[in-house]
Amino acid sequence: AQSVTQLGSHVSVSEGALVLLRCNYSSSVPPYLFWYVQYPNQGLQLLLKYTTGATLVKGINGFEAEFKKSETSFHLTKPSAHMSDAAEYFCAVSVLNSGYSTLTFGKGTMLLVSP
């Protein structure tokens, strides 16, 4: 079965500091991987996705993630945090479910940004 593990339920950074949110997956086949962001009292919004091809994926708002097959990781980074980045971030993997693909989410990481 495919699954996702996000390390750290909360991550705190100062404004301007590097953001690193960790995600490891387990999959017996090449995975499709996603990062979603959830701002307070809102739904989820896609940040970026990896399907095939280039392993460094760029997303919205300056975020990027690198697919590392050897480490089964898909960590999310941003060089310089902004106050507006404070939100909950979810890593997800697309899994086959009775012949159809659905998303399985990690438990989420809350990003706190201090001035």
Which residue stretch of 14-22, 56-64, 71-79, 90-98 sits at the interface with another protein (rule: CB under 8 A)? 90-98
Query: With binding defined as CB under 8 A, does residue 20 bind another protein?
Result: no
Asked if residue 107 lies in contact with residue 9, where contact means CB atoms within 8 angstroms, the answer is yes
Q: Which of 15, 44, 66, 72 binds another protein (CB under 8 A)?
A: 44
- Break the chain down into helix, strand, coil percent, rounded to 5: 5, 60, 35
* Shortest Å, Cβ 102 to another protein: 6
Q: Which of 26, 51, 80, 114 binds another protein (CB under 8 A)?
A: 51
Three-state SS at 110: strand
Dist CA 74 CA 23 (whole Å)? 5
Q: Which of 54, 70, 83, 100 binds another protein (CB under 8 A)?
A: 100
Dist CA 30 CA 41 (whole Å)? 33
Say if residue 53 is exposed, middle or buried (CB neighbours under 10 Å; 0-12, 13-18, 19+): exposed
Is the CB of 17 or the CB of 110 nearer to another protein? Answer: 110
Using CB under 8 A, list all residues that contact another protein.
9, 32, 34, 36, 41-46, 49, 51, 90, 94, 96-98, 100-108
